[in-house]
Amino acid sequence: MKRTTHVLFAVAISGLMGLWSVNGGPFLALISGLGGVIPDLDLGKYHRRLLHNLFIVVLVYLLLEYLTRYIDFGIPYIPQALVLGWLSHIFLDSFTVRGVALFYPFSNRYYGLKKCRSNGFLCNLFFIIVSIAILVYLLRDQVIHYASFLQF
Ligand SMILES: [Zn+2]
């Protein structure tokens, strides 16, 4: 999937999981968006393996949990927000023809529905529409308020 699709979807999912409504919600939405792009840093030799598996997600989560225990950022759920964005990335990539090496380094098998190309227009459009629908749903009170404000 394209980077924009990953970011939008990650931010939408973080809202669905209630991360926006806790202390530091907008920051956590950003962290989730960041988690949605980090996995593609493995573009290159180990693409869709090194950073697209469950073990690296667990490892990163534990590392962040450990770090946030000693460094107080004043905002809870930073590890959860990042990992959520990261998992949403793996989920979206599982729809691409290549799939994702979910159990790497223990298995090199690629898993997923493998239905579309990662830069495919329709596939990206579909998930962008899903993300925007979630965002509009979550922000519906603000949307309604703004819409009624514009009428007068
Ligand atoms: Zn990816």
Side chain identity, residue 145: H
> Residue for token digits 């514009």?
150
- The domain of 116 spans 3-151
Band (62; pLDDT cuts 50, 70, 90): very high
Identify residues whose C-beta is under 5 A from ligand 1, the ion: 39-40, 93
**Are 12 and 21 contacting, i.e. CB atoms less than 8 angstroms apart?**
no
pTM of the full structure: 0.91
Q: How far is the CA of 32 from the centre of ligand 1 (A)?
A: 15
pLDDT value for 124: 97
Per-residue pLDDT tens for 87-123?
Answer: 999 999 999 999 999 999 999 999 999 989 989 999 9
Is residue 86 left, alpha or beta, with left meaning phi > 0 and alpha meaning psi from -120 to 50?
Answer: alpha
Read off the pLDDT of each residue in 129-147 and give the average, rounded to a whole number: 90
- Determine the average pLDDT of the residues in 10-34: 96
Contacts of 7 (CB under 8 A, 6+ apart): 33, 36, 37
Q: Which DSSP category does 40 fall into? A: G
**93 alpha carbon – ligand 1 mean position (Å):** 6
Look at residue 33 and tell me whether its pLDDT is greater than 90. Answer: yes
Question: In the predicted model, what is the mean pLDDT of the chain?
Answer: 93
Ligand 1 centroid vs 84 CA: distance in angstroms? 14
Question: Per the structure, how many domains does the chain have?
Answer: 1
What pLDDT does residue 152 have?
62
Give how far Cα 57 sits from Cα of 1, 38, 93, 122, 148, Å. Answer: 19, 11, 15, 28, 43
Question: Ligand 1 centroid to 7 CA: how many Å?
Answer: 11
Structure tokens, 116: 């579309």
| Listed residue (150, 125, 151, 152) closest to 5, CA to CA | 125
Q: What are phi and psi of 96, to 5 degrees?
A: -80, 160
